[in-house]
């Protein structure tokens, strides 16, 4: 793809100077990337870190990613697409495609992700990472689905794809906030998801979520009677150590159909049916977990009492009033 096809032409001031990676590049040896390299094959210098500014002068995030799709990023180098504060309109899913995607990241405002907002105005996924692809990093952004319909995921790792994001990511309004399915894997430690439908965090058909210290708030689909915080199903697995699930319509943590959740030191608070729920062969291990003020059981194992196990699990003040378990 030529640079002119990727959107408005980049100005040289948009391309940030090279920054040293360790001792590989002395501070005085900074150079500027030539904007003419956008949209055509180019190899980054070894041991360098380049930042490109997106969201300025009419160049949006998808156009920037297309313009660097043919760039080679050596193993010792990094390429960062930097998003400015403000609202960035997205009309369709960003399908991640880059042969060196593990060394390509998208960064916004890590100190305050609410200031860097990506708004999807049509029903779709947010970021899709498919077979053979790796998203090296995503942080400092809020992903919002404003269309109000569909079954898309804010972040979706599918068919063995891998995505990694930092703790300063907020996701709201997608039917699934973070999903790993069909052997995909997502590292989403510390991520906060709210306003989902079926589930805010979903590991499905062998997918895995590394969701330690993640937070789920208010998943709900009243029409289908769904809505749970962390769900592992059909062999999916979730490492949810230290995670928090609150105000979800059904359960905080759910394991079904041989799904498994590691829920050490997790908390399930004010969920509509139960704090921790298993059925059809699902398993949850929750050493030092707390189920508090849920509007049904603290622990609900429909296929055997040993499906939810753990030492020092605390259950406090459950069977609370239904009105206390609904997000406002």
**Secondary element (H or E) of residue 218:** none
Residue ending a domain, among 53, 84, 115, is 84
- Predicted confidence (pLDDT) at residue 156 exceeds the cutoff of 70: yes
Structure tokens, 143? 């992903």
Could you read off the pLDDT of 104-134 as tens digits, one per residue? Answer: 999 999 999 999 999 999 999 999 999 999 9
Residue ending a domain, among 55, 84, 113, is 84
Residues 286 and 315 in one domain: yes
Domain count across the chain:
2
Residues 92 and 209 in one domain: yes
Structure tokens, 154? 């804010």
Residues 16 and 124 in one domain: no
Q: What percent of the chain has pLDDT over 90?
A: 82
Residues 192 and 210 in one domain: yes
Residues 153 and 270 in one domain: yes
Q: Which domain holds residue 199?
A: 86-325
If one counts every other C-beta atom within 10 angstroms of the C-beta of residue 81, the result is 21
Residues 302 and 230 in one domain: yes
- Whole-model pTM: value is 0.90
Could you read off the pLDDT of 258-271 as tens digits, one per residue? Answer: 999 999 999 999 99
Residue ending a domain, among 24, 53, 84, is 84
**pLDDT computed for residue 11 by the predictor:** 35
With 0-12 / 13-18 / 19 or more C-beta atoms within 10 angstroms meaning exposed / middle / buried, residue 130 is middle
Q: How many angstroms separate the CA atoms of 158 and 137, rounded? A: 16
Q: How many angstroms separate the CA atoms of 184 and 204, rounded? A: 9
- Predicted confidence (pLDDT) at residue 3 exceeds the cutoff of 50: no
Residues 9 and 96 in one domain: no
Could you read off the pLDDT of 15-61 as tens digits, one per residue? Answer: 333 323 322 332 212 234 456 788 899 999 999 899 999 865 567 99
Dihedral sign computed on CA atoms, order 112, 198, 145, 60:
positive
Could you read off the pLDDT of 161-220 as tens digits, one per residue? Answer: 999 999 999 999 999 999 999 999 999 999 999 999 999 999 999 999 999 999 999 999
Structure tokens, 261? 């959740």
Residues 176 and 27 in one domain: no
Residues 5 and 57 in one domain: yes
């Amino acid at each position: 793809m030529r640079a002119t096809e990727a959107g408005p032409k980049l100005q040289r001031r948009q391309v940030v100077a090279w920054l040293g990676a360790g001792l590989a590049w002395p501070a005085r040896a900074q150079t500027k990337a030539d904007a003419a390299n956008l949209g055509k094959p180019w190899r980054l210098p070894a041991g360098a870190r380049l930042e490109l500014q997106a969201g300025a002068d009419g160049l949006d995030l998808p156009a920037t990613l297309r313009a660097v799709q043919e760039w080679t990023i050596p193993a010792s180098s990094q390429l960062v697409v930097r998003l400015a504060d403000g609202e960035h309109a997205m009309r369709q899913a960003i399908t991640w495609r880059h042969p060196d995607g593990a060394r390509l990241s998208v960064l916004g405002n890590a100190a305050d992700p609410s200031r860097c907002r990506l708004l999807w105005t049509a029903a779709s996924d947010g970021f899709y990472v498919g077979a053979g692809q790796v998203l090296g990093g995503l942080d400092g952004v809020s992903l919002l689905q404003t269309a109000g319909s569909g079954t898309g995921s804010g972040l979706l790792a599918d068919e063995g794809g891998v995505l990694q994001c930092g703790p300063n990511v907020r996701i709201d309004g997608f039917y699934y906030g973070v999903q790993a399915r069909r052997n995909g894997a997502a590292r989403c430690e510390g991520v906060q998801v709210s306003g989902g439908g079926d589930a805010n965090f979903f590991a499905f058909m062998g997918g895995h979520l590394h969701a330690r210290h993640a937070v789920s708030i208010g998943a709900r689909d009243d029409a289908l009677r769904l809505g749970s915080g962390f769900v592992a199903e059909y062999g999916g697995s979730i490492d949810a150590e230290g995670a928090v699930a609150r105000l979800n319509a059904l359960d905080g943590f759910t394991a079904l159909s041989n799904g498994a959740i590691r829920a050490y030191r997790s908390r399930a608070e004010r969920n509509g049916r139960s704090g921790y729920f298993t059925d059809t062969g699902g398993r949850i291990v929750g050493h030092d977990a707390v189920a508090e003020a849920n509007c049904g059981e603290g622990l609900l194992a429909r296929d055997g009492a040993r499906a939810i196990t753990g030492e020092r699990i605390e259950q406090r003040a459950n069977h609370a009033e239904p009105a206390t378990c609904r997000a406002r």
